[in-house]
Chain A
Amino acid sequence: MMAEQPMPLWEVFIRSRTGLAHRHVGSVHAPDAGLALDAARDTYTRRGEGLSIWVVPSSAITASDPAEKGSLFEPTASKIYRHPSFYDIPEEVGHM
């Protein structure tokens, strides 16, 4: 029996017309990086969304462990002074 490799998964990041940074939009299956770019173009830029595409092998991503969310994220909940909501913004600055 011939061993068939499962088609690798790629994470897709698109820089939109308006945004500055690439944003994660989803994932595609493709045999290699070149076809992953094509698949990302065909799947995620059908309505003129993008100016630039990145694809990254999903296996290259190191993710945090959801079980550790307590120690990772909860300590910030009590540090509301980190939110920039304690400043008076001068009127000349306008909308930020």
Chain B
Amino acid sequence: MTTIQLEETPHLAYLLRLADSALINAHRLSEWCGHAPMLEEDLALTNVALDLLGQARLLYEHAAAVDGNEWREDDLAYRRDAPQFRNLLITELPRGDFAFTIVRQALLSAFFHPFWQRAQGSTDRALAAIAGKAEKEVAYHLRHSGAWLVRLGDGTEESRRRTVDALDALWSYTGELFEVDPVGEAMIEAGIGPDPETIRPVFEQTIDRLVDEAGLARPPGTWMQSGGLRGVHTEHLGHLLAVMQHLQRAYPGAVW
């Protein structure tokens, strides 16, 4: 049995949400390696993936310290099952086409850039330090994915259709970004995590600017998906974990 069990305090659960979202997002982006529409984007998308993987590592390392047991970052990444993952659902959806990947990254970056800016003032000093690094990285992710979103929306008939489809498919997954459950409340209370409501106007302004420049409109839908934060996932996460965790599950403790 290689699966570990954790006693999730609000603080640990909160760090796992951030770490898991970064890791799963990074994994989906890494699936483009060798498959992107052009060499330049192959490099660009995997650069973003590596930034996010770096953030995930720092967050897991910090989570392991907060947990206080013997688990290391690799145990947290490779030895938990899908219901124990706390990532946002939007990060686990299959990579789709290039437009889908770009729109997902723009939505995530439009949220996480102001998120990390605010998290630099966290009372959790380690999280504040991670935020300082992540903020610069995500600023570039937003610049890159935003630039492509505008050009795809304002590009050919096909690129526009694919971008509209991606926006429609992904929009209902943005509600989770702003979800505040008891864990979130405790973190806002303790000054560890920013209140997502303070981020909403910045997020909406960014998305409105991008879709406007792209000649598109923000999808009207108001019904939102939910579940990732409490471990209720889409059917896609299990398949992703099977690939991502295979080596450590088959050969526990394997190292390079």
Contacts and interface: CB of A to CB of B under 8 A. Distances in A.
Interface of A: 2, 4, 7, 28-32, 34-35, 38-39, 41-43, 46
B183 interface: no
Interface extent on B, as a size class? 10 to 19
Interface of A is mostly: mixed
B38 A34 contact: no
Nearest to B155: A31
B43 interface: yes
Contacts of A29: 38-40
B143 A38 contact: yes
Contact of B40 (A2, A34, A39): A39
B5 interface: no
A42 B47 contact: yes
Interface of B: 38-41, 43-44, 47, 140, 143-144, 147-148, 151, 155-158
| Max chain B Cβ within 10 angstroms of own Cβ: one of A4, A30, A35 | A35
A86 to B, nearest CB: 48
A31 B140 CA distance: 18
A38 to B, nearest CB: 5
| Max chain A Cβ within 10 angstroms of own Cβ: one of B39, B40, B41, B143 | B40
B151 A42 contact: no
A21 B64 CA distance: 46
A35 B158 CA distance: 20
Given A2-B156, A46-B47, A28 B147 contact: no
A38 B156 contact: no
A31 B151 contact: yes
Contacts of B158: 2
A38 B148 CA distance: 11
Closest 10 A-B residue pairs measured CB to CB? Answer: A39-B40, A42-B44, A42-B43, A42-B47, A28-B40, A43-B43, A38-B144, A35-B147, A29-B38, A29-B40
A7 B38 CA distance: 10
Given A35-B147, A35-B151, A30 B156 contact: no
Contacts of B148: 35
Given A2-B156, A38-B144, A43 B40 contact: yes
A30 B148 CA distance: 11
